[in-house]
């Protein structure tokens, strides 16, 4: 009973976290100096914000002292808390809504944004955008050394063990889809839109171009050509930060969290097998009809899977694949754990928390190679 209650709690938290899972990545800031800067949209003479070249520590100190560091919480807060800790600030933050109105009306001075989603809405002028252009700057979690890895592919340990050829074939075809999508982001955006986009065509195209950066660049800024690889250092950093900032009320789960190692949450052999194949032939498939649960509604955040489906990459390896969109009432870890679907897409931190609660999930490929979370601010 205790475990059942815990799973219900995990499910609720992760369901809510879905609403904040979108992100995108602009050109990044670097070092201790903030990135883009310009002039406040509302007042070109205002000095209420930040000047060009203001050090990150000073931006964070000002926003923190005013209680105006914003984040959605629900699992999105760990990187922000790690950043606040890095600069000697309390780990408290202001609850941020899922639109950017709080940033627009100055209720939030330093707001969380995903590079492929909220950041695009803030800077762009298309329908739904706030049209700030280059009048905002940002602090990149990757540059600050507090990045946590995001979207991956996972299943249960039992499913992977019982269906090794199917898992490899699914990874192979999915990564082929991601490679094509990154080479052709505009076409990928159109494909996703066709399958039921939740955002405008303009924002979908913007999102595709930014997601490409998260797929093909690692947390250090280096290029990634092996789609879906699990970078050891980035994985370990994610696990270490998860252990420090994820707080679990269940004492048994909290103890298990502290003891987790990378071997408890991922297995690289399936991706290595898929990546080594030149033709996607892995022998007889144990299961030919599979499904994957997304974190959220159809959008370019998941473009690789829709491209793989549209281009026939799944059928080429002998798989019939159903892509299941997420939503506010669906938890991807719970859906995979209870067998409703075979694969899922989640953040590594979600998988870590789920395994601390006893779900025995297994990451088999890491699609996003860097964090899409940034903190944005207006400039004087």
Residues 6+ apart with CB under 8 A from 120: 24, 129, 203, 206, 207, 210
Say what percent of the chain tops pLDDT 70: 88
Question: Using CA atoms, how far apart are residues 82 and 84, in angstroms rounded to an integer?
Answer: 5
Q: Rounded CA gap, 331 and 344, in Å?
A: 10
Phi-psi sector, 70: left (phi>0), alpha (psi -120 to 50), beta: beta
Query: How far apart are the C-alpha atoms of 151 and 227, rounded to whole Å?
Result: 13
Q: Are residues 337 and 353 in the same domain?
A: yes
pLDDT of residue 329: 77
Q: Are residues 362 and 216 in the same domain?
A: yes
Instruction: Report how far residue 316's alpha carbon sits from residue 108's, in angstroms, rounded to the nearest whole number.
Output: 49
Q: Both 68 and 143 in a single domain?
A: yes
Q: Which domain holds residue 133?
A: 56-147
Residue 159 CB-density burial (10 A; 0-12 exposed, 13-18 middle, 19+ buried):
buried
Beta bridge partners of 292: 323, 343
Contact 117, 124 (CB under 8 A): no
Residue 14 pLDDT greater than 90, yes or no: no
Kindly state whether residue 46 falls inside one of the protein's structural domains.
no
Final residue of a structural domain among 109, 131, 147 = 147
Please indicate, yes or no, whether residues 82 and 121 belong to a single structural domain of this protein.
Answer: yes
Strand partners, 95: 71
Q: Which residues contact 136 (CB under 8 A, 6 or more apart)?
A: 36, 38, 122, 123, 376, 377, 378, 379
CA torsion, ordered 323, 324, 327, 331, to nearest 10 deg: -110
Per mean pLDDT, which range of 71-75, 204-208, 223-227, 267-271 is the poorest?
A: 71-75
Least confident of 15-19, 274-278, 287-291, 324-328: 15-19
**pLDDT score at 260:** 98
- pLDDT tens digit sequence for 318-331: 999 999 999 877 89
The whole-number average pLDDT for the span 285-293 is 98
Q: Are 112 and 60 in contact (CB under 8 A)?
A: no
Structural domains counted in the chain: 2
pLDDT at 46: 54
The answer as to whether 235 is a domain residue is yes
Q: Which of 108, 128, 147 is the last residue of a domain?
A: 147
189/91 Cα distance (integer angstroms): 37
Boundary residue ending a domain (105, 126, 147): 147
**186 and 120 within one domain:** no
Helix (H, G, I), strand (E, B) or coil at 128: coil
* 137 and 261 fall within a common domain: no
What is the spatial distance between Cα 265 and Cα 148, in angstroms, rounded to a whole number? 14
SS3 at position 132 = coil
The pLDDT value recorded for residue 220 is: 97
Q: What is the pLDDT of residues 48-96, one digit of tens each?
A: 899 988 999 999 999 999 999 999 998 899 999 999 999 999 999 999 9
Residue 20 lies in a domain: no
Angle between helices 78-86 and 232-245 (to 10 degrees): 90
Write down the mean pLDDT value for the chain. 89
Q: Is residue 39 part of a domain?
A: no
H or E segment at 255?
helix 251-259
Asked if the structure places residue 60 within a domain, the reply is yes
Question: For residue 45, what pLDDT band results from cuts at 50, 70 and 90?
Answer: very low
DSSP β-ladder status, 361-366 and 152-156: antiparallel
300 within 8 A of 25, measured Cβ to Cβ: no
* pLDDT at res. 327: 81
* Residue 183: partners with Cβ closer than 8 Å, 6 or more residues away: none
Could you give the maximum distance between any two Cα atoms of the chain, in Å?
68
Say yes or no to pLDDT of 31 above 50.
no
Task: Clarify whether residues 179 and 212 are in a common domain.
Answer: yes
Strand partners, 365: 153
């Amino acid at each position: 009973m205790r475990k059942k209650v815990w799973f219900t709690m995990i499910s609720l938290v992760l369901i809510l976290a879905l609403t904040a899972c979108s992100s995108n990545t602009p050109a990044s800031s670097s070092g201790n100096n903030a990135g883009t800067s310009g002039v406040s949209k509302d007042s070109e003479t205002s000095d209420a914000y930040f000047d060009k070249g203001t050090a990150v520590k000073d931006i964070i100190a000002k926003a923190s002292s005013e209680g105006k560091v914003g984040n959605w919480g629900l699992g999105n807060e760990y990187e922000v808390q790690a950043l606040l800790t890095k600069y000697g600030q309390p780990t408290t933050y202001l609850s941020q809504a899922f639109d950017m109105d709080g940033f627009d009306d100055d209720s939030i001075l330093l707001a969380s944004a995903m590079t492929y989603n909220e950041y695009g809405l803030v800077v762009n002028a298309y329908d739904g955008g706030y049209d700030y252009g280059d009048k905002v700057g940002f602090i990149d979690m990757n540059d600050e050394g507090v990045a946590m890895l995001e979207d991956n592919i996972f299943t249960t340990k039992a499913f992977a063990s019982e269906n090794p050829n199917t898992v490899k074939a699914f990874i192979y075809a999915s990564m082929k889809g991601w490679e094509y999508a990154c080479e052709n982001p505009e076409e990928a955006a159109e494909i996703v839109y066709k399958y039921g986009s939740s955002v405008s065509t303009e924002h979908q195209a913007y999102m595709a171009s930014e997601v490409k950066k998260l797929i093909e660049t690692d947390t250090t800024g280096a290029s990634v050509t092996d789609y879906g690889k699990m970078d050891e250092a980035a994985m370990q950093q994610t696990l270490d930060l998860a252990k420090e900032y994820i707080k679990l009320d269940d004492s048994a789960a909290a103890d298990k969290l502290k003891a987790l190692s990378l071997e408890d949450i991922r297995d690289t052999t399936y991706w290595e097998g898929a990546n080594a194949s030149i033709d996607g032939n892995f022998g007889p498939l144990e299961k030919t009809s599979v499904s994957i649960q997304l974190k959220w509604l159809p959008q370019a955040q998941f473009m690789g899977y829709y491209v793989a489906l549209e281009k026939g990459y799944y059928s080429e390896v002998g798989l019939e694949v159903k892509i299941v969109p997420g939503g506010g009432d669906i938890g991807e870890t719970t859906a995979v754990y209870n067998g409703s679907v075979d694969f899922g897409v989640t953040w590594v931190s979600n998988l870590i928390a789920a395994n601390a609660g006893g779900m025995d999930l297994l990451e088999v490929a890491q699609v996003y190679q860097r964090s899409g979370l940034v903190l944005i601010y207006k400039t004087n």
